[in-house]
Structure 1
Amino acid sequence: MTLTGGQLQQTARDTAGALGDVSRGRPFTPHFEVWKVRGKVFLIVTEDDPDQQIITVKVDPHEGDALRRDHDSITRGHYLDKQHWISIGPGPRRHYTTCRGVGAGLLRSRLGPAFGAAFVSGQPLSLFGVDDSSRPLADRMRPRTLADVVGQDHLLEEDAPLGRMVGAHRLVSMILWGPPGCGKTTIARLLAEDTNLAFEPLSATFSGVADLRKVFQTAKRRREVGQGTLLFVDEIHRFNRAQQDSFLPYVEDGTIVLVGATTENPSFELNGALLSRCQVFVLKRLDEVALSTLINRAEDIVGAPLPLDEIARQALIAMADGDGRYLLNMIEQVQHLAEPVDSASLAAAVQKRAPLYDKSQEGHYNLISALHKSMRGSDPDAALYWLARMLDGGEDPLFIARRITRFATEDIGMADPNAIQQALAAWDIYERLGSPEGELAIAQAVLYLATAPKSIGVYRGFNKATAAAKRTGSLMPPAHILNAPTRLMKDLGYGKGYQYDPDTDTGFSGADYFPHGMTRQTFYEPTANGYERSITERLKLWAQQRDANPSTSTANNSITPETD
Structure 2
Amino acid sequence: KIYAKKLSANYHELSSIFTTTAQLKEIFAKAQEQSLLQEKTVVFVDEIHRFNKNQQDLFLPVIESGDIILIACTTENPSYSLNNALLSRCQTLQFKELTEKDLQTLFFNIEKSQGELNIKPEQLELIIKNSNNDARIFISNIEKIYALNSNEITNDQLTDILQTTPFKSDKTGDTHYAYFSAFQKSIRASDDAAAMLYFVKMVENGEDVLAIGRRMLVIASEDVGLADPQALIQVNTALQAFERVGQPEGLIMMAQAVNYLALAPKSNASYKSLAMARMLVKENKDIFPPKAALNATTKLQTQEGRGAGYIYDHDTEIGFAGQSLFPDNIPRMQLYHPKQIGFERDLAKRLEYFTNIRNKKK
TM-score by length of 2: 0.85
The number of aligned residues is 359
User: Which letter does structure 2 place at the counterpart of 1:285?
Assistant: E
Correspondence 1:473 to 2:286: yes
Q: Do structure 1's residue 354 and structure 2's residue 178 form an aligned pair?
A: no
Identify which of structures 1 and 2 has the higher relative contact order when contacts are C-alpha pairs closer than 8 Å and 6+ apart. 2
Q: Distance in 2 between matches of 1:401 and 1:525?
A: 28
Question: Which amino acid in the other structure matches residue 319 of structure 1?
Answer: N
Give the letter for the 2:126 counterpart. Answer: A
Is the contact made by 2:289 and 2:326 (CA closer than 8 Å) also made in structure 1? no
Match of 1:365 in 2: 177
Q: Aligned partners of 1:291, 1:405: CA distance in 2, in Å?
A: 40
> CA-to-partner distance for each residue in 1:221-276, whole Å, 9 max, x for gaps?
76677664432111111222232233233322333321111111222222222212
Q: Cα distance 1:318–1:222, how it changes in 2: closer, same or farther (>3 A)? A: farther
Go from structure 1 to structure 2 and tell me whether the alpha carbon gap of 1:469 and 1:270 turns closer, same or farther (over 3 Å shift): closer
Within the candidate set 236, 244, 255, 2:67 is matched to 255
Question: Aligned with 2:66: secondary structure?
Answer: coil
Q: Distance in 2 between matches of 1:385 and 1:526?
A: 31
Distance in 2, matches of 1:210 and 1:475, equals: 56
CA distance in 2, matches of 1:387, 1:541: 41
After TM superposition, list the pairs within 5 Å mapping 1:101-120 onto structure 2: none
What letter is aligned with 1:475? F
Aligned to 2:210: 398
Distance in 2 (CA, whole Å) between partners of 1:200 and 1:486 is 76
2:234 aligns to what? 422
Match of 1:320, SS state, is coil
Which residue of the partner structure matches residue 84 of structure 2? 272
AA of the residue aligned to 2:336: Y
Query: Offset of 1:515 from its aligned partner?
Result: 4.3
Structural mapping, 1:83-232, within 5 Å: 189-192=1-4, 199-213=11-25, 215-216=27-28, 219=31, 228-232=40-44
Q: Does 1:498 align with 2:311?
A: yes
Q: CA deviation at 1:214?
A: 5.5
Q: SS at 1:280's partner residue?
A: coil
Name whichever of 293-302 and 389-398 sits farther off.
389-398
Match of 1:512 among 304, 324, 328: 324
- After superposition, the Cα gap between the structure-2 partners of 1:529 and 1:213, relative to the gap in structure 1 and judged at 3 Å, is same
Alignment partners' CA distance in 1, 2:4 and 2:306: 85
Q: Which residue of 1 aligns with 2:134?
A: 323
Q: Which residue of the partner structure matches residue 303 of structure 1?
A: 115
1:434-445 equivalences in 2 (<5 Å): 434-445=246-257
Q: Deviations over 1:434-463 (max 9, x none)?
A: 222222222221221122111111111123
Offset at 1:482?
6.5
- 1:266 partner amino acid: P
| 1:514–1:216 distance in 2 versus 1, CA, 3 Å | closer
RMSD: 3.3
Q: What amino acid sits opposite 1:200 in the alignment?
A: H
Secondary structure (helix, strand or coil) at the match of 2:92 reads strand
Q: Distance in 2 between matches of 1:401 and 1:327?
A: 33
Structure-2 change in CA distance of 1:191 and 1:530 (3 Å) = farther
Q: Deviations over 1:73-94 (max 9, x none)?
A: xxxxxxxxxxxxxxxxxxxxxx
- Paired with 2:54 and 2:298, the residues of 1 have a C-alpha distance of 65
Separation in 1 of the partners of 2:40 and 2:330? 71
Name the aligned partner's letter for residue 133 of structure 2.
G
Return the letter of the residue paired with 2:111: E
Residue 127 of structure 2 aligns with an amino acid whose one-letter code is L
SS class of match (1:504) = coil
Please state which structure has a larger fraction of its residues in helix: 2
Q: Aligned residue for 1:452? A: 264
**TM (normalized to structure 1)?**
0.57
Q: Percent identity?
A: 37
Q: What secondary structure sits across from 2:93 in the alignment?
A: strand
Stretch of structure 1 that moved more, 420-429 or 263-272 = 263-272
Q: 1 or 2, which has the higher strand percentage?
A: 1
User: Partner of 1:287 in structure 2?
Assistant: 99
Instruction: Tell me the equivalent position of 1:332.
Output: 143
Contact kept, 8 Å, 1:380 with 1:447, in 2: the verdict is yes
| Displacement after TM superposition at 1:403 (Å) | 1.5
Distance in 2, Cα, partners of 1:242 & 1:464:
39
Q: Which has the larger radius of gyration?
A: 1
